[in-house]
Amino acid sequence: MRDAGRIAGAIEVLDAVMTRHQPVKDALRDWGKAHRFAGSGDRAWISGLVLDALRRRGALRHVMDEDTPRALVLGALAYAWDMDARAISTTFEGDEHAPAPLTEGEIEALSKGLDAEAPLHVRADVPEWLGPSFQRAYGDAAELEGQAMAGRAPVDLRVNRLKAEPEKAFGAVSPKIKNIEVSDLILDGLRIPETDPRAKAPGADSIPAFGKGWVEVQDIGSQLAALAAGDIKGAQVLDYCAGAGGKTLALSALMENTGQLYAWDYDGRRLRAIWPRLQRSGARNVQVRDGKEAETLGDLEGKLDCVFMDAPCSGSGTWRRRPDSKWRLKEEAFKRRQSEQDEVLSKAWRFVKPGGRLVYVTCSVLPEENEDRVAGFLKAHPEFRPVPASEAMAQSGRLAEGAQERLKALEGRFGAIQLTPHRTGTDGFYVCVMERTA
């Protein structure tokens, strides 16, 4: 396909996302089925443009003065892909599959630049109702934090030490993916930097080392959150709200297949993906349980060294990867998530024994889901005291040289750490560690 046809395809896909409320992946799949002539490179090009348009939707609709698929795609070409109005017009010329020619209004909008005096929510590319939350959380850095959340994300791998040491895994992966890097935060982390959005991203799950279980796809921020469990070799650990099992696998590797790790989720359907992942990883110390706590976890109450709780949340920390979810988030759902977080906190702590640790984690960058929830919990449970998250992570023995000092500088209220794309180059994760004293 020529670029003009690809741009038209991006407008079609974005229209399905915005008007039929389809997830981007589903909209791209349906478009591909209807356009069999489009190759994988064409679909990757279209996907990159659609995602960049959604990542910067707030700023683009402001500068284009329209919130339509066409306006957003044209805006992304100019302000994310650095094509000026003349280059876009030239691309459209002589191609019967091209969108309609640019109007005078569009040419003006594509040429005037982004508004540096626009409201914060526009400059930070967040929903308007979340502007005050971003301001509260990040103060003068709110715009930079939001802009980083609107960027593209790398692909991160976690070396699975149950099967391979970092050097061996890197040696196996690097010939397949030429630009892979070793993380400067975590010893077991490998990073494939973000690629040109026009190009097809490398398929990490297709490399032999992945199939052998030597590496798992997991954001560096998620890996750091798992390290907050500390030194858990030989311990009794519960992964509360385990879901697809990404943190379960990381915790099992930290435990080096010693002790006992319980992976629990209320909804057994969410645990379906964990079984093949456990088999591939070589984890042998994991019990998978699902259902009501009283029935499936009652025997563990007050007995566990560590309860790791990846709480339900808005998912705002993953907006780089799922930008459509940023604009679908509504205030009512946001408040409902906070109630759910309070509920799971009110239950999970019961499984921690005196001297044990409760690790509260969200993939959120918003204080209402993070420190506000912890503040309420600690007020209701004086038997828990905060522990500096950087110290807990260091106890795992898996931080890279100098990483503890960098992370300690990020500690805020309760010694918790807020990871963000701007601060740490990771997805957004909040990590708070609390120890039960009685």
Annotated active-site positions, please? 363
Pairing of strands 417-419, 429-436: antiparallel
Q: Coil, strand, or helix at residue 391?
A: helix
3-state SS, one letter per residue, for 161-175: CCCCCHHHHHHHHCC
- How many distinct helices (H) and strands (E) make up the chain? 22, 12
Identify whether the C-beta of residue 43 lies closer than 8 Å to the C-beta of residue 24: no
Assigned token pair, 436:
């039960």
Phi, psi of 71 (to 5 degrees): -60, -40
Q: Coil, strand, or helix at residue 288?
A: strand
Q: Report how far apart, in Å, the C-alpha atoms of 89 and of each of 13, 94, 98, 151 are.
A: 21, 10, 10, 26
Q: Which regions of 29-188 does DSSP assign to beta strands (E)?
A: 155-159, 181-182
Buried b (16+ CB within 10 A) or exposed e, 363-388: bbbbbbbbbebbeebbeeeeebebbb
190 Cβ neighbours under 8 A, 6+ residues apart:
156, 157, 158, 159, 169, 170, 173, 180, 181, 182, 183, 215
Closest-CA residue to 43 (of 21, 83, 12): 12
- The whole-angstrom separation of Cα 210 and Cα 280 is 9
Continuous segment of H or E residues that includes residue 405:
helix 403-408
Task: Name the percent of the chain in helix, strand, coil, to the closest 5.
Answer: 50, 15, 35
- The whole-angstrom separation of Cα 49 and Cα 257 is 43
| Beta-carbon count within 10 A of 85 CB | 17
